[in-house]
Structure 1
């Protein structure tokens, strides 16, 4: 006879095993700067791929020396988890002119979602792109 504790342990193991895994990767075509993934005051990545169980609430920007420590005065990709658990909303935020002409950036979902957005100078859409695929990834490209 299976005990109650065994059933609970199996259920917890199934939930943990089913957690979504997401990777945020960077392509820097600029030849300068450091791709930075920042969550609050914590740097999650400085150019390498970042993988986590669940989407981080974070911003990504190219630190060129002219950006503030938290991405101020630079174009950045805003990554916001949604209430669905595995979902995320991503958009590009641009500083006001004349700073808005600093570089270009693109993001694209892979592995389950096909949403993408590109920002070149002042030509940027500000509508968030959402993805609810459990194991989707996000590629961010600077200087597109």
Structure 2
């Protein structure tokens, strides 16, 4: 009986100290008929659809054109910039935006929205003069924020 009580107490302590795994993913819907949606994290191309165990910080996503239109960091293309992370204090969660600040420029329509939390929150840039993207440094804030744990991001090109 005493052994059962000790085992129950230990399992309760272990369960209380297990940290849930943080996981985020970026999924693409490429309607362009060309290009390969690409995610660059920490200066490395990590591919198209991408799942990370842990935060994704300072990532960029763009429709990589094998014709040479987009540079390695999305130069000459429409770019989605994102940080996906579980908030540790209010206001420290995920944040995403569309940038057309040079050397980035409008190349294809793009939209994004959060999934798995903050559903429906996102931005869209269907034309070069869209108001939901950064065009110049110092533009008014156009980021979309999300304070949900394990949020995912869906990005649509074209």
Query: What's the TM-score, normalizing by structure 2?
Result: 0.73
Indicate the residue corresponding to 1:70 in structure 2: 73
Verify the 8 A CA contact 1:19 1:53 in the aligned structure 2: yes
Q: Deviations over 1:79-138 (max 9, x none)?
A: 1246824821000001459x7441110101111112111012221413110112112211
Where does the alignment leave 5 or more consecutive residues of structure 2 unmatched?
Answer: 134-141
Indicate the residue corresponding to 1:29 in structure 2: 31
Indicate the residue corresponding to 2:144 in structure 1: 129
The alpha-carbon distance between structure 1 residues 13 and 44, as it changes in their structure 2 partners (threshold 3 A), is farther
Give the whole-Å Cα distance in 2 for the aligned partners of 1:40 and 1:125.
25
**Cα RMSD, aligned residues only:** 2.7
The alpha-carbon distance between structure 1 residues 135 and 40, as it changes in their structure 2 partners (threshold 3 A), is closer
Indicate the residue corresponding to 2:157 in structure 1: 142
Query: What's the TM-score, normalizing by structure 1?
Result: 0.79
Indicate the residue corresponding to 1:14 in structure 2: 18
The alpha-carbon distance between structure 1 residues 113 and 30, as it changes in their structure 2 partners (threshold 3 A), is same
- Quote the offset at 1:78 in angstroms: 0.3
Where does the alignment leave 5 or more consecutive residues of structure 1 unmatched?
Answer: none
The alpha-carbon distance between structure 1 residues 60 and 113, as it changes in their structure 2 partners (threshold 3 A), is same
The alpha-carbon distance between structure 1 residues 136 and 80, as it changes in their structure 2 partners (threshold 3 A), is closer
SS in 2 for 1:69: coil
Indicate the residue corresponding to 1:55 in structure 2: 55
In our comparison, the structure showing a higher alpha carbon Rg is 2
- Quote the offset at 1:54 in angstroms: 2.8
The alpha-carbon distance between structure 1 residues 96 and 120, as it changes in their structure 2 partners (threshold 3 A), is farther
Q: Deviations over 1:13-62 (max 9, x none)?
A: 611xx1221111011000001100001321111x3x21112331200001
The alpha-carbon distance between structure 1 residues 118 and 19, as it changes in their structure 2 partners (threshold 3 A), is same
